[in-house]
Amino acid sequence: MELSGSQMVIEALRKENVSVVFGYPGGAIMNVYDEVYKQNHFKHILTRHEQAAIHAADGYARASGEVGVAFVTSGPGFTNAVTGLATAYMDSIPMVVISGQVPISMIGTDAFQEIDAVGISRPCVKHNYLVKDVKDLPRILKEAFYIARSGRPGPVHVDIPKDVTAQIGHFAYPSEIKMQTYKPTYKGNPRQIKKAIEAIVASKRPVLYIGGGAINSNAAEEVREFAKICGIPAVETLMARGVMGDKNPLLLGMLGMHGCYSANMAMSEADLMIAFGSRFDDRVTGKLSEFAKHAKIIHIDIDPSSIGKIVAIDYPIVGDLKKCY
């Protein structure tokens, strides 16, 4: 099937079952918006500012569990989007943000509304792309959605020059993606899980430290069941509020500098901390040398770079919390 680059974007969103897109148009992405007007597969919500579009896509992703999608244009359109990207990156929210860019021949010439969008977004996205040829666009869009929703979720940025959106090419959307350098681990190591179970059995004052990963992995029910079966009290981070439920007798409250006295004191006196999808944020730990200094630590997280990043972990388990239960 021969399509223009802008038509490929619309067709890719249809194949990914995207139902809502947020955005604000501009010259560099106008070819894509011309195709948005012609389609009826998804609803486009026009915001009044690019930052609002990204935050709206972020909120939609959190509420729906789907990948949030946003369109922005080049230059100031993209720089306005950076705060929303950083928010989604820090909170592990799956999003695909598609930005327009000046034509390839004008990149690097300080053209009107040109900005190094890929360079700017690199520190605050899970991955990013500059599309240089329309034949690569179907694969890149498929990879973008795959990366955004798999492993530890996060925002992916796709920057498309205006001439690429106008080019005609063959559209063959991949049915699956296999990337040599990106292979998330979902199933925890059985030996490490066994060691963690033994540590829980031997502990006298264990505490569950529940982070946003419990929500991202859709494991709230399993976490509650685990706490109930084991009779272990729990504390939640801000990102995990609602996992246990406010009326749950095992919930000690929110942890950290804005949290409850009971939750913080429990962590101070615990002999074992069981961290579920949490990243040991400084708002939680405070002074690291004093944080849970009597406790051994079990940490389950799908992102291996988060384990041992802030505090030393005694029982590391890399995997999807829902599949490690």
- 19 plus 103 within the same structural domain: yes
- The yes-or-no verdict on residue 324 having pLDDT over 80 is no
Residue 177 lies in a domain: no
Q: Which of 170, 203, 219 is the last residue of a domain?
A: 170
- 200 plus 117 within the same structural domain: no
- 292 plus 161 within the same structural domain: no
- 157 plus 33 within the same structural domain: yes
Residue 265 lies in a domain: yes
What is the mean pLDDT of the segment spanning 165-182? 92
- The yes-or-no verdict on residue 201 having pLDDT over 70 is yes
What is the mean pLDDT of the segment spanning 12-24? 97
- 159 plus 75 within the same structural domain: yes
In which band, very low, low, confident or very high, does the pLDDT at 325 lie, cut at 50, 70 and 90? low
- 85 plus 196 within the same structural domain: no
Q: Extract the tokens encoding 78.
A: 């993209």
- 163 plus 201 within the same structural domain: no
CATH number at residue 134: 3.40.50.970
- 91 plus 219 within the same structural domain: no
pLDDT number for residue 100: 97
Bin 317: left if φ > 0, else alpha if -120 < ψ < 50, else beta: beta
Residue 37 lies in a domain: yes
Residue 108 lies in a domain: yes
pLDDT number for residue 262: 94
CA distance 210 to 235: 6
In which band, very low, low, confident or very high, does the pLDDT at 208 lie, cut at 50, 70 and 90? very high
pLDDT number for residue 323: 79
CA distance 64 to 66: 5
- 195 plus 166 within the same structural domain: no
CA dihedral 223, 226, 232, 236 (to 10 degrees): 0
168 forms bridges with which residues in the sheet?
4
CATH number at residue 316: 3.40.50.1220
In which band, very low, low, confident or very high, does the pLDDT at 176 lie, cut at 50, 70 and 90? confident
- Helix (H) or strand (E) segment spanning residue 235: strand 234-236
- pTM confidence score: 0.93
- 139 plus 267 within the same structural domain: no
Residue 142 lies in a domain: yes
Q: Tell me the CA distances in angstroms from 276 to 18, 37, 216, one per residue in order.
A: 30, 44, 11
- 205 plus 121 within the same structural domain: no
Q: Which of 170, 203, 231 is the last residue of a domain?
A: 170
Bin 278: left if φ > 0, else alpha if -120 < ψ < 50, else beta: beta
- Helix (H) or strand (E) segment spanning residue 102: none
pLDDT number for residue 65: 92
Mean of the per-residue pLDDT values for the chain? 95
Chain centroid offset of residue 15 CA: 21
Bin 283: left if φ > 0, else alpha if -120 < ψ < 50, else beta: alpha
Instruction: Identify which of 199, 243, 241, 253 has the alpha carbon closest to the alpha carbon of residue 219.
Output: 243
- The yes-or-no verdict on residue 2 having pLDDT over 90 is yes
> What is the 8-class DSSP label of residue 188?
P
Residue 183 lies in a domain: no
Q: Kind of pairing, strands 234-236 and 251-254?
A: parallel
- The yes-or-no verdict on residue 264 having pLDDT over 90 is yes
318 forms bridges with which residues in the sheet?
301
Which strands, in side-by-side order, build the sheet including 251-254? 251-254, 234-236, 206-210, 272-276, 296-301, 315-318
Q: Any idea which residue has 């929210």 for tokens?
A: 93
pLDDT number for residue 1: 85
Please name the residues in contact with 225: beta carbons below 8 A apart, sequence gap of 6 or more.
none
CA distance 60 to 194: 38
Residue 182 lies in a domain: no
Which sign, positive or negative, has the C-alpha torsion 176, 78, 283, 228? negative
Q: Which of 170, 201, 233 is the last residue of a domain?
A: 170
- 251 plus 155 within the same structural domain: no
What is the mean pLDDT of the segment spanning 123-138? 97
CA distance 60 to 97: 13
pLDDT number for residue 247: 93
- The yes-or-no verdict on residue 144 having pLDDT over 70 is yes
In which band, very low, low, confident or very high, does the pLDDT at 271 lie, cut at 50, 70 and 90? very high
Chain centroid offset of residue 183 CA: 16
Q: What is the total count of domains within the chain?
A: 2
What is the mean pLDDT of the segment spanning 233-253? 95
pLDDT number for residue 83: 97
- The yes-or-no verdict on residue 64 having pLDDT over 90 is yes
CA distance 249 to 189: 31
Residue 176 lies in a domain: no
Position 116: which residue type? Answer: D
Task: Supply the range of the domain harboring residue 23.
Answer: 2-170
